[in-house]
Structure 1
């Protein structure tokens, strides 16, 4: 019988104990009405169910040789379960439909014969093409139309209904397309159809009679977070990434740097800065830049230690380049989108999964903020010990700056205080939660969503949180990363101190302490993306503290802050441009390389 099987129908089943037996019976009856005996099989793709579905599926397989049961010990996701079952199928024509039988089974012959005849490689029923009969309530129809419109618009699909659970495939064509399909849950069949069209396969969409079964509602996790993010991800991969080659990467890098330089002119007058620098010691400004450069290899070493604790090894040179590129992006793009660039580069070039990539970034940010907050806090304690509270408050709040920077400075102070407190609180929560066995992630996610996709999203978030806690719970790793962070930000402060020297400021221990405080608060103020790269906020915070606590005038304080920030940004831009050229961060190349490095995780399965 095995060699004679031509058609394999897969029934995706998750907790379908009440309906799966009837669905299998209806499927067998419908198939035997138009196919010869022995040429078809029905596979129950049971996806880590928590009810009696596995027992029922196994019994049905034992009772009828036309029925098979493919079991998974853990949740693979709807798409993952379908894909695994299709790979175990024996037929050359593959099909699946939802087990609630919402699509009228009178269309099954048309679906299967569309592919079996050789006229099409893919076929799908549709509730939106002319000629269909579908009773779709507004709460189902409006989200569905919105989703399909986005897919048609962004992914250039010619189909009207990508989600109808009634599809057939040519085996060879499907396996070819699956090489590029990444989703393993609700977006799986949409991505299959989009990539099939992009690959030039013939896809048929035909109208079906469809009746909704059970209740449905717009689900926050599945529909917004899940589907939306998958549309954006697929758009990037099929529409943007293929157009990025070595030449485009070089041009984009140059444009990125030019944009950053243009943005820098929004907070400084090049002529004024040049005039100030002419009065300053240019050699010392150069020394400040060289000193700041030394903080970047330390960033690479720290990132290596974080990734190493998470189980991913990489060389510090590559990691330093990746950080340069991401920080250059953060100078230009809003909301720190450069961090997403780094996560992509790490996924493509070093096979670090996105949850772990973003977790490593979060760990880095937490240590940055914690270190900066502690530096600022230590200086404040010293000042409190030597100044009265009234003097300290008057010095900071009452400072008047040249150039109308008072409001920016006060805003920066408020932001910095909030970020500092949040950083310390976040660190405490992470450390305490790392020592607890309780899992709050899944309970929170499932409160937002009643859909099974919530399990998938909860798993991703749990992996993210687990990676963060892995470093937080390791005392050696915590101390190592913390020490490196302290060195990085000490160099950041020393850069500002050297710039002060370049302007002829006589240094005293108190002034060095003020510099630590000013730089720390300025960097804390930059965390919130209120302005590109924190332009204006850093300068305002730095100057308002220096003016309030030292005899230096407002014009000089602002000049020092502008030059200090400009030196750091220029080093970042130069490093970003060199790193893009050195690493050749072409996203197309990165994706190709990632395929060679990715390890395939084989799920625990059994076939009855």
Structure 2
């Protein structure tokens, strides 16, 4: 439990305190007493003795820092100590202390006193005078005196350059631990600032500039005390992701309206279809489609519909292993809506919608929501890769591999169709690579689930000893443990695996019926084998979210391998691919609309809110 060790009220009107200095402290038993004494002496040199307070924001220390801070608070009423039993992060500790502070001018600096304390009056007076709302020292202004070794200076310059470039900041140094805020600025900005750790002060500075507050940056004399190191996890993964997150929130998201998002999806789809005209004359495909048997197309759609309840059952089994027992009917609706989102929005934005729905309606945390999605995707990829592998074995036994070798070497051409060998090989490489990654991923997760060693912390710990590594490791561990819950349980693995096999068998059967609807008349055994292979490779190829619904990628892969392995013209193969994909997308859209109406979910609202809620969830978990 967080608790103040002093018994005074946190309300400030009657205290007479004008300036509150917060010292964020984590395991500072060797330096904290001297730092507090130097701070008090410096403040006394330019402020009345009762016009300031010094707050030790002790952040879950496991050394003697709490004991020392408590003793100093008992000895001097101007010193206050706030303790946390668990780590809040530097930003979290500062926010908590500023909330409890009495002064209207809020100051903090690092407890190692790296910044020369003769600058403290300048820092305080810039805010206390009312001239500025935010003030920060800078080690990178021309007038500064800072002794920085290369291993500290170079990463700092890169970091500040990225902040200026992506976040349009006018400041040179965002991380100097020597800052002050007016209470008005702090109260206004604190709810918008999401980071609770090292990025907190950078985000405060950036948002202060965006909000129109007056920000002062002035040069300081600075000398590092003790040694440090570039921390890969904290500095690159942590800070870098926070820069991108803030850039997205401030510069990108405000411009992404419903119309813009839908328009982008439609443009990508049109572009994908337009690229297909480089390989075939559309009129030839339309001629084939004009001979379609509508009854068989309807049958294909009906068969494909049967796979959706199985998707709901499979998702139910996955969530059950993660400790959540939900109805398959609700989950089927959530899947329909998310897949509809993937058709409408680029970059698989619909996946976030499903995580949002199960979070908002059933309270399933985002890490578990995304882990369950990942499990589903892994089993999908594993199943279709396995199906393709079985067909390859059959082709090897019957001499059919020569046909694949030929199409890889020469491409596909016939009539107006001309797909180059390079394009065919690209599709094959992507499909093969995705399949290998899926199989290797399942094997790795299953093996790690049976191991006693904590591989995640061992691996992350190689790069970082900073406390931020705990947050990173916790997120990764929760995600992987959810994956392991299914992959490491033979019964669950079998159930989900059988469901996946049934789902993709239905998918292929639907494609076979579409081929019959186009009048294809070939040996049924050949047709089944070729269809399994073409559908599998097509779905592996469209994994990369280059267009909504994978439009274009699936068609090319399906066309190439169906035309190469079966006595079907390239135009007929492409017509089958287009019609098969269209039928399945139509079923998805209809099911998505029905599910949105029954569950009262707006797709565009869900996309927007899923991003907002997800950001808050991870910010709070930090």
CA separation of 1:406/1:600 partners in 2, compared to 1, >3 Å: closer, same or farther?
closer
Do structure 1's residue 151 and structure 2's residue 166 form an aligned pair? no
The CA RMSD measured in Å over matched residues stands at: 4.0
Hey, what does 1:389 align to over in structure 2? 397
Do structure 1's residue 120 and structure 2's residue 128 form an aligned pair? no
CA separation of 1:583/1:484 partners in 2, compared to 1, >3 Å: closer, same or farther?
farther
CA separation of 1:351/1:89 partners in 2, compared to 1, >3 Å: closer, same or farther?
farther
Do structure 1's residue 446 and structure 2's residue 461 form an aligned pair? yes
Hey, what does 1:33 align to over in structure 2? 45
CA separation of 1:238/1:348 partners in 2, compared to 1, >3 Å: closer, same or farther?
farther
Q: Could you tell me which of 438, 443, 447 is aligned with 1:428?
A: 443
Distance, in Å, in 2 between the alignment partners of 1:343 and 1:368 is 18
Could you say what secondary structure the match of 1:279 adopts?
Answer: coil
Distance, in Å, in 2 between the alignment partners of 1:141 and 1:36 is 38
Q: Could you tell me which of 72, 94, 99 is aligned with 2:106?
A: 94
Q: Could you tell me which of 497, 504, 509 is aligned with 1:489?
A: 504
CA separation of 1:236/1:546 partners in 2, compared to 1, >3 Å: closer, same or farther?
closer
Do structure 1's residue 260 and structure 2's residue 269 form an aligned pair? yes
Q: Is the 8 A contact 1:325 1:575 kept in 2?
A: no
Deviations 1:411-470 (A, max 9, x none): 544544443343233212222323434211122122223544333322322232233234
CA separation of 1:182/1:51 partners in 2, compared to 1, >3 Å: closer, same or farther?
same
Hey, what does 1:462 align to over in structure 2? 477
Distance, in Å, in 1 between the alignment partners of 2:267 and 2:591 is 14
Distance, in Å, in 2 between the alignment partners of 1:178 and 1:28 is 27
Q: Is the 8 A contact 2:538 2:554 kept in 1?
A: yes
Q: Could you tell me which of 175, 178, 187 is aligned with 2:190?
A: 178
Q: Is the 8 A contact 1:355 1:461 kept in 2?
A: no
Q: Return the offset for 1:239.
A: 2.5
Q: Is the 8 A contact 1:366 1:427 kept in 2?
A: yes
Distance, in Å, in 2 between the alignment partners of 1:602 and 1:224 is 19
Hey, what does 2:341 align to over in structure 1? 325
Q: Could you tell me which of 524, 527, 534 is aligned with 1:511?
A: 527
CA separation of 1:553/1:584 partners in 2, compared to 1, >3 Å: closer, same or farther?
closer
| TM-score, normalised with respect to structure 2 | 0.81
Q: Could you tell me which of 243, 248, 260 is aligned with 1:236?
A: 248
CA separation of 1:484/1:43 partners in 2, compared to 1, >3 Å: closer, same or farther?
farther
CA separation of 1:478/1:67 partners in 2, compared to 1, >3 Å: closer, same or farther?
farther
Hey, what does 2:5 align to over in structure 1? none
Could you say what secondary structure the match of 2:338 adopts?
Answer: helix
CA separation of 1:235/1:537 partners in 2, compared to 1, >3 Å: closer, same or farther?
closer
Deviations 1:27-51 (A, max 9, x none): 2222233333344332322333354
Distance, in Å, in 2 between the alignment partners of 1:67 and 1:48 is 19
- Structure with larger RCO (C-alpha < 8 A, sep 6+): 1
Q: Is the 8 A contact 2:352 2:611 kept in 1?
A: no
Deviations 1:369-425 (A, max 9, x none): 1222333345556x3xxx763624334334574334555445544544443343233
Q: Could you tell me which of 22, 27, 47 is aligned with 1:15?
A: 27
118-127 vs 387-396, which deviates more? Answer: 387-396
Instruction: Give the gaps of 5 or more residues in structure 1.
Output: 604-608
Could you say what secondary structure the match of 2:275 adopts?
Answer: coil
Q: Return the offset for 1:264.
A: 1.9
Hey, what does 1:209 align to over in structure 2? 221
Q: Return the offset for 1:79.
A: 1.5
Q: Return the offset for 1:73.
A: 3.2
Distance, in Å, in 1 between the alignment partners of 2:364 and 2:25 is 31
Distance, in Å, in 2 between the alignment partners of 1:259 and 1:531 is 6
Distance, in Å, in 1 between the alignment partners of 2:360 and 2:168 is 25
CA separation of 1:533/1:26 partners in 2, compared to 1, >3 Å: closer, same or farther?
same
CA separation of 1:473/1:139 partners in 2, compared to 1, >3 Å: closer, same or farther?
same
Q: Return the offset for 1:186.
A: 1.3
Hey, what does 2:3 align to over in structure 1? none
Q: Is the 8 A contact 2:269 2:547 kept in 1?
A: no
Q: Is the 8 A contact 1:351 1:597 kept in 2?
A: no
CA separation of 1:341/1:588 partners in 2, compared to 1, >3 Å: closer, same or farther?
closer
Equivalent residue pairs, number: 592
Q: Return the offset for 1:575.
A: 7.7
